[in-house]
Homo-oligomer: A and B are copies of this chain.
């Protein structure tokens, strides 16, 4: 099974995009999502812990996101979760990535003007 996930958070690094030798656009950025929970004792909403993700993008989504998003903006990301163990000569660790299906600005926190791409398919 592929784990589908939807994350609402903030762009923590400016998105990058590049074209591979085979002509495929690929890019990524870091995404931070902080839990908000209602604290009954305080009778108020408080910040919880933060989930960090690397968001990987392909094709038209990668170029459109690089042209649209910047660090600090609130976004909505949906895609497939990839939890991977990695290892190099010096260290090992766990990466937590989302292969994005699509991405949009979070309109609870602002407005957006959209320009539909012409003559292209995603």
Contact = CB atoms under 8 A, between A and B. Distances in A.
Given A51-B82, A78-B8, A83-B51, A111 B117 contact: yes
Query: Does more than half of chain A's interface fall in helix, strand or loop, or is it mixed?
Result: strand
A81 to B, nearest CB: 6
B4 A111 contact: no
A114 B108 contact: no
A2 B113 CA distance: 27
Given A64-B107, A104-B105, 17 more contacts: A1-B36, A4-B4, A4-B6, A5-B81, A8-B101, A51-B82, A76-B102, A76-B103, A81-B81, A96-B96, A102-B106, A103-B104, A103-B107, A104-B112, A109-B122, A110-B114, A110-B117
